[in-house]
Amino acid sequence: MRGLEVLRRPTLVISWLIVLTVIGWAVVPDLFSSYSPYDGDSSASFAPPSPDHWFGTDRLGRDLFARSVHGARTTLIATLLAVLLAFGAGTVIGLVAGFSGGIVDTAIMRVVDVFLAIPSLLLAMVVVSVLGYSTNNIALAVGVSTIASFARVMRSEVLAVVGQDYVRAAYGVGVGRIAVMLRHVVPNSLSSVIALAALEIGSAVLAVASLGFLGYGAPPPEPEWGLLVAEGRDFVAVHPWASILPGLALAAVVIAAHRISTSFRKEHGR
């Protein structure tokens, strides 16, 4: 997409600014906040938002903006790990099913259908309950819960590609099945899967934060986005900023990621 076209879409520009800012939070958090995400001032407990504390403070007097900034690294790393796991495993499973066909395809896709029938958040909760509570296990759980979606999309793309004339021609000149798969099928099947990965980033951020909110993620005092919202929920009536402002930051990132991924899919005609 050309630069001038981006500038004609203000919501897309804002979305990119939000995402780039959050990436900056994750890479160099100290550049955006001078406060410690762990140390608090008991005399400043539940201080309202101000020029000194943009998001106010929590019950322990810790700066909520600093905790949101430092929490970006934990949440984004878990999100990227989850999407990479789902993309890699789902692509391989869909490729094997679509390229093999027959009973292999049927068996694999029946298992995939079972996973698709289970709500992804519920499946992630089950997985993380088995593995134990931690941010890494949340990433694994969210990734596992999304594999089926990638496998289904990859299979459909592979089935469309294997029926093309150039694939039949490759077989006709004596090219082996593995070579056909690697040279022709895989490169021409990945576009929709990559677009799905872009779309899933926002959903994965929300899923990681949701599990953190429910207490499945990093334990206190780690500054994880879902945990920040959970820590302030009991004080919303009296000190609403403690939960609402970190929640709004999370919502802004999710909406921005979805907006960018939607523009990516439209640009590629998907």
**How many Cα atoms occupy the beta-carbon half-sphere of 66 within 13 Å?**
18
* Residue-level pLDDT at 65: 94
Higher pLDDT, 24 or 135: 24
> Can you give the pLDDT at residue 7?
61
Tens of pLDDT along 249-263?
999 999 998 888 887
Domains and CATH numbers, the chain: 3-28+65-267 (1.10.3720.10)
Q: Summarize pLDDT for 51-103 with one digit per residue, the tens.
A: 988 999 998 899 999 999 999 998 999 999 999 999 999 999 999 998 888 89
More confident residue, 267 or 27: 27
Supply the DSSP symbol for 237.
T
Tokens of 242: 């403690």
| Residue 119 backbone phi and psi in degrees, to 5 | -55, 135
pTM of the model: 0.86
| Dist. CA 69–CA 24, nearest whole Å | 9
